[in-house]
């Protein structure tokens, strides 16, 4: 019989193993008895890493420790899953309403509302040296998403139109570069906007 050099550490390891085995068994029984258990487990995966102090982060931590959730915890997570699914369904339905605008290659006047704006690094910035430190000066461009009723318009670039913010109403003249589609939504891509007027929200 081998000699145990550190009985305290051995006992702690033994308790951890017992607890882990119990959690594994509890998870198996939960999956067998609850039709949504796997859905909940998959939904919670990674939430602790995103934000361990959030409700979902705490639920994943509890799931890892105990192998299952209490009925109230399970129902709360399922409610969040269902709410997200409902919002996604509405979003997907809205996307399908979008149609292309104008004729590719032609310039036309637009009156739209900004619905989103994203700042991206073009990769064409430059670096300078400040003493011993190297300072990077990024060069940004913007993706501006606008809507006329249900129709989505996309502009990628800089300049006056890129100064608009979400919620602003904009009026401008631009060339229809292409008629594209993203995730089922028809999008009108524009370029070289001029005569830009912005009415702040």
| 121-140 tens-digit pLDDT | 877 766 777 777 777 767 78
Count of C-beta atoms within a 10 Å radius of residue 146: 25
> What integer best gives the mean pLDDT of the chain?
89
pLDDT at residue 74 above 70? yes
Last residue of a domain, one of 93, 116, 134: 93
**Which tens digits make up the pLDDT trace of 7-24?**
766 567 666 777 777 788
3-class SS of residue 4:
coil
What percent of the chain is predicted at pLDDT more than 70?
90
Shared-domain flag, residues 71 and 129: no
Residue 22: its pLDDT value, please? Answer: 79
Three-state DSSP at 42 gives: helix
Of 139 and 43, the structure prediction assigns the larger pLDDT to: 43
Helix (H) or strand (E) holding 49: helix 47-50
> Which domain does 180 fall in, by range?
107-199
Phi-psi domain of 98 (left: phi exceeds 0; alpha: psi -120 through 50; beta: other): beta
- The kind and range of the H/E element at 154 are strand 151-157
- pLDDT tens track for 83-123: 999 999 998 898 899 999 999 999 999 999 999 999 988 77
Q: What pLDDT, on the 0 to 100 scale, is given for residue 1?
A: 46
For residue 99, is it within any domain?
A: no
Final residue of a structural domain among 68, 93, 118: 93
pTM for this one? 0.62
Q: What is the DSSP string of 72-131?
A: HHHHHHHHHHHHHHHHHHHHHHHHTT----S-TT-EEEEEEEEEEEEEEE-S--EEEEET
Q: Is residue 101 part of a domain?
A: no
Contact 145, 181 (CB under 8 A): no
One domain for residues 11 and 72: yes
Q: How many domains does the chain have?
A: 2
């Amino acid at each position: 019989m081998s000699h145990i050099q550190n009985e305290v550490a051995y006992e702690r390891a033994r308790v951890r193993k017992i607890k882990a085995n119990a959690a594994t068994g509890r998870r198996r029984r939960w999956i067998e008895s609850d039709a949504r258990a796997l859905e909940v487990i998959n939904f919670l995966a990674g939430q602790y890493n995103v934000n361990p102090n959030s409700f979902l982060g705490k639920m994943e931590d509890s799931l890892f420790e105990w192998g299952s959730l209490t009925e109230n915890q399970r129902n709360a997570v399922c409610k969040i899953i269902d709410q997200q699914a409902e919002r996604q369904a509405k979003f997907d339905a809205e996307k399908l309403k979008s149609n292309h605008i104008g004729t590719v290659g032609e310039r036309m006047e637009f009156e739209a509302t900004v619905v989103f704006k994203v700042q991206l690094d073009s990769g064409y910035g430059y670096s300078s040296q400040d003493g011993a430190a190297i300072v990077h000066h990024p060069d940004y461009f913007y993706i501006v998403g606008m809507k006329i009723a249900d129709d989505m318009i996309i502009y990628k670039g800089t300049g006056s139109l890129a100064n608009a913010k979400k919620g602003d109403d904009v009026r401008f003249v631009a060339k229809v570069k292409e008629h594209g589609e993203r995730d089922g939504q028809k999008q009108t891509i524009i370029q070289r906007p001029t005569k830009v007027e912005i009415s702040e929200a």
